[in-house]
Structure 1
Amino acid sequence: MYGYTQDKDKYLNRLRRIEGQVRGLEKMIEEDKYCIDILTQVAAATSALQSVALGLLEDHLGHCVAQATAEGGEVAAAKVREASEAIARLVKS
């Protein structure tokens, strides 16, 4: 079981709302809406995705990494390294 499992429905609902935002962006472009209005909506969708990512990261740290740390050894080191690499990817985006 993964750390996000208990909040799976929350994440799925949030991702469905984000999917709707992205479809709305597509429609705005099809309808030749004002550039700044589109950019505002892109920023909102990006922020929503970042929020999901941070929630998943928190769940991963609290469950997967914590569990691996309790086991210790190379498993723990690998999970910490994996989490650090995920954080680095998020920071770059």
Structure 2
Amino acid sequence: MSHTHANKKPLLSRVRRIKGQAEALEKALQDDGDCGAVLQQIAAIRGAVNGLMAEVLEGHLREHVGSHDISAEQRDAEVDAVARLLRSYLK
């Protein structure tokens, strides 16, 4: 079973909070909201997405990359895939 399946409820809750934050940001921009409030909302969204990424990434590393059930070649491929993903995410 996938770690995202096992933790589906809390992950979906996080995504819904991020969606709500994005909707609040959209409304603030539409309503010509205060720049400080807009920047604060952007920072909150970024923090929430980073937290979600960290949680899913940790689960992936523990369940897939750190698994004792995979070969060294599979582990190397998983590490390469995670490294590519992190480089893309951190751009």
Give the structure-1-normalised TM-score. 0.87
Write the deviation string for residues 45-64 of structure 1: whole angstroms up to 9, x where unpaired.
11000000000000000001
Q: Which moved more, 1:69-78 or 1:2-11?
A: 69-78
Q: Is the 8 A contact 1:3 1:60 kept in 2?
A: yes
What is the Cα deviation at residue 10 of structure 1? 0.2
**One-letter amino acid of the structure 2 residue matched with residue 85 of structure 1:** R
* Structure 2 unpaired stretches of 5+: none
Q: Give me the whole-angstrom Cα distance separating, in 2, the residues matched to 1:85 and 1:61.
A: 14
| Percent pairwise identity | 31
**One-letter amino acid of the structure 2 residue matched with residue 79 of structure 1:** E
| Count of aligned positions | 91
2:49 is the alignment partner of 1:64: no
What is the Cα deviation at residue 85 of structure 1? 1.7
Q: Secondary structure at the match of 2:90?
A: helix
More helix by share: 1
Q: Is the 8 A contact 1:65 1:79 kept in 2?
A: yes
Q: Give me the whole-angstrom Cα distance separating, in 2, the residues matched to 1:91 and 1:2.
A: 25
Give the alignment's Cα RMSD to 1 decimal: 1.4
What is the Cα deviation at residue 30 of structure 1? 1.1
* Aligned equivalent of 1:8: 8
**One-letter amino acid of the structure 1 residue matched with residue 14 of structure 2:** R
What is the Cα deviation at residue 86 of structure 1? 2.0
* Structure 1 unpaired stretches of 5+: none
